[in-house]
Amino acid sequence: MRKREEKVLIVGNDANVAQAVELSGMRSYLTAERVTDGWEAIEKLEKHDYAAIVIDADLPGFSGYGVVQFLRQEQGEALENVIMLTSGDRQTVVQKISAERLHVLRKSTPAAQLDAAMSECASSTIHLHAGDK
């Protein structure tokens, strides 16, 4: 069983989607932190470790794609603990970001699939802040 202090960072401005992700995280013994834009996400990622990061691709302003680009610059292709959510075509998102290890799910994905992806993500924790580099 995982420790309760492990966290999921939810990056999105849709309250319903965020709530579904938070419930999924709870089923994987993760506590949730939520931000509503990409810049806030980067600030959090620079200071904290996350077992899972769930990003809405459709964010206005600094989008989910920008957050993934930041993660790539910091982590390379080690994006196993990242889930990108989209309301569009899943395959288009996969091609646009061309990341094999990143989970890409539609926002309408059934809870069981989200839970499975969350569980996979939680098996590794991303370390970006200075103390762990």
Residue 13's φ and ψ, nearest 5 degrees, are: -110, 5
Per-residue model confidence as pLDDT tens digits over 39-96: 999 999 988 888 899 999 888 778 888 898 888 888 777 788 899 998 888 778 777 7
Angle at 90 between CA 73 and CA 50, to 5 degrees: 40
Q: What is the domain partition of the chain in residue ranges?
A: 7-128
What is the third-level CATH fold of 7-128?
A: Rossmann fold (3.40.50)
**DSSP state at residue 109:** -
| pLDDT score for 11 | 95
Q: Cβ of 6: how many Cβ atoms within 10 Å?
A: 17
Mean predicted confidence (pLDDT) in 3-22: 86
pTM for the full predicted model: 0.85
